[in-house]
Amino acid sequence: MTDATFSAAMTPPLGADHIAAKAPGPKEPGRRVRYDGRSLDLFWIYLKNLVLTFVTLGIYRFWATTRIRRFIWSHLRFLDEPFEYVGTGKELFLGFLKAMLALIPIFIGLGVLDFLFFQFLPEFYWASELLRFTIIMSLIYLGTYAAQRYRMSRTLWRGIRFQQAGSAWVYLGLAMRGLLLTVLTLGLYTPFVNVRLKSYEMNNLSFGSQPFAFDGQGKDLFKPFLIAWALALPTLFLSMFWFAARSYRYYASRLSVAGLRFAMPVTGLQVAWLQISNLLLLVVSLGLLYPVVVRRTLDFWCQNLAVEGAVDFKKISQAEQGPKTGEGLASYFGMDAVGV
Amino acid sequence: MNGTPWTGYFLDGRAAERHAVTVAFGTSALEIADADGLPLATWPYAELRATERISAKRIRAGQVLRLARGEADEARLVLSEVLADDAPLDGSRLTELLTLAPQLASRSRLSRQAVRRFGLATAGFAAVAAALWFLWPPVADLTAGLVPRSWEDRLGRRLVEELLATGKVCNEPAGTEALDRLAARLTESLTPPHPVTVTVVDRAEINAFAAPGGHILLLSGLIETAGSAEEVAGVLAHEVGHTVERHGMRSMVRNLGAGLIFELLSGGSSLANVAPVLTMLAYSRDFEAEADARAVELLAAANIRTDGLADFFARLAREEEELPQVFAYLSTHPAAALRQIATARGSPAGGPAMTPEDWAALQGICGSAE
């Protein structure tokens, strides 16, 4: 597509939509997402968070996460309109307490079961371990989906909420079935389960009343995966970066929302360099360069995300209210990804 | 004050469309009207909120002001030209707005009330943690006491089997007999009787374990390092002390529960990785002191000189630099220096632990000595 079809989506910093329609073309065609947060500003928030979290014996961490998100969201701009994070520390804290209540009986039950197996059925001890693994994995998948639902419901753009519909249990079912098949096929099922999960997630995502659509199919990624899989050992698994980049390109090309289409022309080398250099920065600085890593990561994805198409913003209306508390389960399993 | 209308755009929180608006200062509210002058919204000054904090000193020409009404409403008002180029801050529209809605410029989000709340929450959290720290051990001990002896024995045997898989069992008959005689002497005085089974494993590390159910393991490195039979007797008495006090079972229940409590309270934060180790160390320190005291009693009752354990630790401390494997022992036990204080009560009064022949046999329990 060319810039001509883009007209309705272009908006100068402070104009209303009908003014925007006449605006001149952008300097970099297709590149619409920007991150303009200053690392130093984020660094001060990060430092203050560290101190307060330490002083409060960890209680402040929910409010710390919220501050970081508010900063990052507000400096991420699409079509010159910033995102806004409207979640609160209190919601995360209450979500954590809820998860704690749910986990107490599960953990105690697992402990007792483990002991009983060890005592009376030592030859079937593997069954207890398998059960524990299955339950922990299930909690991780459930937590991930619930966290995504909360995060999306607290993300605002142009005053409109995102919404992650769908059921965490259905997602869990897909994930566990995929995990089983992946194990049985020595990993070859990986691209199918990856795409299936991405598909469920994306087809249940919407911006206000506008649903996202994703029509990816696992078979399209099977050949690249087979190549990466075959080359994994000789390349010390570096071939997986190439596969990851291939997946990102594919996912972006299969995604659409409200008449917009996406492209993410990244290469394996770029992804490998980004991740390895970020890891090194974090390790060498003992985590203090986290703000720099955030900026590098966001810059990378923003610069590589191309968006094309035209949107009729009048037709996008508000989404339903999201959950009242947030992502307690996910925080138990270290799911707070870098940058969030 | 300022004659030119303030322009910007309005997002009504119902649709994603931007409305070009002009804003006027009313008596008690901000009046928002569309391009044709039709009123879109009226936002009372008292309910205005800036989605990003405004610092009047840092405001620059061209900066944008994003306003919301209250916490829940998703409508946003975005004002441009906060400050016209080269215009003074005094008397500007921004100053006027900040006078009418002073909360927009309030500096710190961490209000006094928030500080008090976080302070209370932290104190409460610390109190709960402290209560659990002190209450849990007696509860855990009570729970451990409910476990039938037969379960404990089976558990101990399973653990020993796993440890035995890491090395060959040493069972030269003469050495085994010598060791069994020593174990029998040490446990003779106990009522009710506590049967123990002592096994030597061929491993270079200096260490000994007391698994639940009286299953004691000595690593051959310990026997090789010991300078006398009394030192081995001291270590063995210490492990029997663990058995008598059921430390194996008790520490298992204590650590399981402590791990669970910390996992739940810390919720996956990095604290979760450190805390169980800390509690384990703290609990084991109590247990070690208890076992030391028991060891002295058992040795005295068996008429064996009671300074063997102290001698053994003194040697370990002295030879620390020469023997790197010593660390294997120290890592699961409190610092050698502390142990010496605990066992300082030992005295040279009392007889030998075994005959010179038995001691020689015990040293050769793993067969051909190197």
pTM higher than 0.80: no
pLDDT digits (tens, 9 = 90+) for A163-219: 999 999 999 999 999 999 999 999 999 999 999 999 999 999 999 999 999 999 999
Interface contact A56-B118, CB threshold 8 A: yes
- CB–CB contact A74 B51 (8 Å): yes
- Determine the angle formed by the axes of helices B229-244 and B247-266, rounding to 10 degrees: 60
DSSP annotation of B15 = B
With bands split at pLDDT 50, 70 and 90, how would you rate the model's confidence at A40?
very high
* Inter-chain CB proximity B17 and A157 less than 8 Å: no
pLDDT tens over chain B, length 370 residues: 445 678 889 999 999 999 999 999 999 999 999 988 899 999 999 999 988 777 666 666 667 889 999 888 999 999 876 665 556 666 677 888 888 988 887 665 567 888 898 999 999 989 988 888 888 889 988 988 888 888 888 888 888 887 787 778 888 899 999 999 999 999 988 877 778 899 998 888 778 888 888 889 888 888 888 888 888 998 899 889 888 888 888 888 888 887 777 777 766 554 555 555 655 656 677 788 888 888 888 988 888 888 887 788 777 766 655 444 443 343 445 444 445 555 555 677 778 888 989 999 988 888 764 4
CB pairs under 8 A between A and B: 114
Asked whether the beta carbons of residue B155 and residue A119 sit closer than 8 angstroms, the reply is yes
Q: Does domain B6-105 have CATH number 2.30.29.30?
A: yes
* pLDDT per position as a tens digit, A129-176: 899 899 989 998 998 999 999 999 999 999 999 999 999 999 999 999
Q: What's the pLDDT score for residue B330? A: 39
Length of chain A: 340
| Number of separate helices (H) and strands (E) present in chain B | 12, 11
Residue A76 CA to residue A71 CA, distance in Å, equals 9
* Domain map (residue ranges) of chain B: 6-105, 149-363
Contacts of A111 in chain B (CB under 8 A): 256, 260
Judged by a CB distance cut-off of 8 A, whether residue A160 touches chain B is yes
DSSP A3: G
| Residue A272: CB atoms within 10 Å | 16
Reference A246, options A194, A286, A211; nearest CA is: A194
CA dist., res. A39 & res. A75, Å (int): 11
- Rounded to the nearest 5°, which phi and psi values hold at A330? -65, -35
Give the pLDDT mean for A123-131: 86
User: Do A15 and B9 lie within an 8 Å CB cutoff?
Assistant: yes
Dist CA B33 CA A266 (whole Å): 45
* Closest approach of B120 to chain A, Cα-based (Å): 10
**Model-level ipTM above the cut of 0.90:** no
Query: CB of A119 within 8 A of CB of B151?
Result: yes
Check CB contact of B266 with chain A, cutoff 8 Å. Answer: yes
Cβ of A159 under 8 Å from any chain B Cβ?
yes
Of the candidates A14, A20, A56, which has its C-beta nearest B8's C-beta? A14
